Amino acid sequence: MRFLLSIEKSVGSVIFRKNENGEKEFLLLRYRNGHWDFSRGHVDVGETEQTTLLRELVEETGITELAIIPEFRQSIFFYYRARAGEAVRRKQEKRSCNVIKKAVYYLGETSQSAVVLSPEHTEYAWLPYEQALARITYAGAKKIIRKAYDFMKKHHI
């Protein structure tokens, strides 16, 4: 039986660091299709949200040192239609190419600045808040960084 719609969950992270001047910068990744976003990925069987976050961050950026701020947890929902290789895989697995995704985001701080990109990404950037907000492609991710920034100001992070 083939399903017409898949509902799936991924976990991501709004990662920041303090640069040499003590200013906060946010990590953005450019995906192969050209959009700028945060590190994010699917939840494997048996994983907690934070385990997924850490695994995906290492896989996508090589960052291994992260202080997760668990009090910041925000979710967005979005729809997409799988294309190309993902669509082929989904069809072989008898899963729908129409996907509603719940993406859960945490806030995390790292002291690492070096990034080792996965094949999923073509570029990365550490940017101050205003520049990061301007570069992010999708409205949902813009909403998440705004909430993260407001949280940081409120909690003096």
Write down the domain spans for the chain. 6-154
Q: Classify residue 13 as exposed, middle or buried by CB count within 10 Å of its CB (0-12, 13-18, 19+).
A: buried
Alpha helices in the chain (DSSP H): 49-61, 84-92, 129-135, 139-154
Distance from C-alpha of 104 to C-alpha of 119, rounded to nearest angstrom? 23
Q: 6-154 maps to which CATH number? A: 3.90.79.10
Q: What is the pTM of this model?
A: 0.88
Confidence category of residue 34, pLDDT binned at 50, 70, 90: very high
- pLDDT-derived band at 93 (thresholds 50, 70, 90) equals confident
> What does the alpha-carbon distance between residue 157 and residue 144 come to, in Å, rounded to a whole number?
16
Q: Are 12 and 103 in contact (CB under 8 A)?
A: yes
Taking residues 51-80, what's their average pLDDT?
95
Is 132:39 a contact under the CB 8 Å cutoff?
no
Residue 76 in this model has a pLDDT that exceeds 80: yes
Count of C-beta atoms within a 10 Å radius of residue 32: 10
C-alpha gyration radius of the chain: 16
Mean of the per-residue pLDDT values of the chain: 92
Is residue 2 predicted with pLDDT exceeding 80? no
